[in-house]
Amino acid sequence: MELFVLLVVSYLIGSIPFALIIGKGIYKTDIRGHGSGNLGGTNTFRILGKKAGILVALGDVLKGTLAASLPFLLGLEVNPLLVGIPAVIGHCYPCFANFRGGKAMATSGGVLLVASPILFLIMFISFIVFLKLTKIVSLTSMLSAVMFHGIVIWIGDKSDAIATFILLVLIVYRHRENIARIVGKTEPKISWL
């Protein structure tokens, strides 16, 4: 029962739509009607600018961090990666925003920050390196997720590997339209890095 409640609370935390809150509350813009239509940091950055994009990205990371921290805060011995998965699902399919959300990367990073700060740092650095090389945020997100899952498999923790595989599948699935644009060479590239 405790685990079920944790998972539900995690999903609700992940469902908080920071891009919608900041977009409509501060900028009077619902970004679901602009750009990719996603409630994530990348689309916010493109539509509302750097400051809004950073705020949304930080909020999305913090959702994952808070959700994954629930076992520690409540003194329960539950894998933080497991508890964090519903937060990532909530970010992608938020009940507070008609189940139209983001693409899983920032909230996954927040979960990872709690589960393994060292692996989070490795993933963050790899993200910057991949982004510098490819200039494509979506491709960078997927490459970083693949690398992270590979590292977890190499380390050899089976339960963590299962959790990171679920996150990897979710990240790739949420980027399926981006994959089509990457193949068709129409995916937008960044110019600021």
Per-domain boundaries in the chain: 2-183
Tell me what the mean pLDDT of segment 77-97 comes to: 96
> Token pair of 12, please?
């609700």
Distance CA 107, CA 87 (A): 7
pLDDT given for residue 190 in this prediction? 85
> In this structure, are residues 189 and 135 in contact, taking their beta carbons and an 8 Å threshold?
yes
Neighbours of 109 (CB within 10 A): 24
pLDDT band at 156, cuts 50/70/90? confident
Distances (CA, A) of 76 to 70, 169, 177: 8, 27, 39
Q: Is the pLDDT of residue 43 over 80?
A: yes
The answer to whether residues 110 and 91 touch, using CB atoms and an 8 Å cutoff, is no
- Give residue for tokens 């805060």: 73
Place of tokens 């990719």: 36
CB atoms within 10 A of CB 124: 14
Distance CA 134, CA 114 (A): 28
Looking at residue 35, its pLDDT comes to 87
Instruction: Indicate whether 53 pLDDT > 90.
Output: yes
pTM score, two decimals?
A: 0.93
Average pLDDT, the chain: 93
